[in-house]
Structure 1
Amino acid sequence: MPSDAVLYQAAALCLTYPDDDFRARLPLLREAAPQLREFVDHAALTPPQALAAHYVQVFDFKNRHSLYLSWWHDGDTRRRGMSLVRFKDLYRAHGLEFTGEELPDFLPAVLEFTARTGNLDLLSEYRAALDQLRSRLADFGTPYATVLDAVCATLPPAPAEARR
Structure 2
Amino acid sequence: MRLATRRRRTTGLEHEQLLWAWQSASLLLGYPDDDLRARLPLVRRAVEALPDSVAGPLGTTLEHLEHVDWDQAQADYVETFDTRRRHNLFLTYFAHGDTRKRGLALLRFKQTYLEAGFVPDDSELPDHLCVVLEFAATVDAATGKQLMLDHRAGLELLRISLAEVGSPWAGAVAAVCATLPPLGEDEWDAVRRLAAEGPPEEEVGLTPYATPGFDPGPAAPEAGPVTLPMPSFPGAR
Bin for the TM-score computed over the shorter chain: over 0.9
Q: Distance in 1 between matches of 2:63 and 2:91?
A: 27
Q: How does 1:1-164 map to 2 (within 5 A)?
A: 2-3=15-16, 4-34=18-48, 35=55, 36-116=58-138, 117-119=140-142, 120-164=145-189
Looking at both structures, which has the greater relative contact order when contacts are Cα pairs under 8 Å and sequence separation is at least 6? 2
Q: Unpaired runs of 5+ in structure 2?
A: 1-13, 49-54, 190-237
> What's the secondary structure of 2:180's corresponding residue?
coil
Structure with bigger helix share is: 1
Q: Which amino acid aligns with 2:20?
A: V
Q: How far apart, CA to CA, are the structure 1 residues paired with 2:59 and 2:171?
A: 9
Q: Which moved more, 1:123-132 or 1:49-58?
A: 123-132
Q: Report the secondary structure of 1:40's partner residue.
A: helix
- Identity of paired residues, percent? 42
More displaced, 29-38 or 88-97? Answer: 29-38
Question: Aligned residues, how many?
Answer: 164
Return the offset for 1:40.
Answer: 0.9
Instruction: Tell me, in whole angstroms, the C-alpha distance in 1 between the residues paired with 2:60 and 2:45.
Output: 12
CA positional deviation for 1:31: 1.1
For residues 82 and 168 of structure 2, what CA distance do their matches in structure 1 show? 16
In structure 2, C-alpha distance between the alignment counterparts of 1:100 and 1:131, rounded to whole Å? 26
**Does structure 2 retain, via aligned residues, the 8 Å contact 1:128–1:163?**
yes
- Show structure 1 runs of 4+ deviating over 6 A: none
Distance 1:97 1:133 in 2: 27
Which of structures 1 and 2 has the bigger CA Rg?
A: 2
- Matches of 1:98 and 1:159, distance apart in 2: 32
For the 8 Å contact 1:14–1:147, the answer to whether it is kept is yes
Preserved contact between residue 124 and residue 158 of structure 1 (Cα < 8 Å): no
Q: Is the 8 A contact 1:16 1:108 kept in 2?
A: yes
CA shift, 1:143, in A, is 1.4
SS at match of 1:86: helix
Distance in 2 (CA, whole Å) between partners of 1:74 and 1:159 is: 22
Q: Is the 8 A contact 2:86 2:157 kept in 1?
A: no
Structure 1 unaligned residues grouped into runs of 5+: none
Shift of residue 157 of structure 1? 2.6
Quote the offset at 1:26 in angstroms. Answer: 0.8
Moved more, 139-148 or 30-39: 30-39
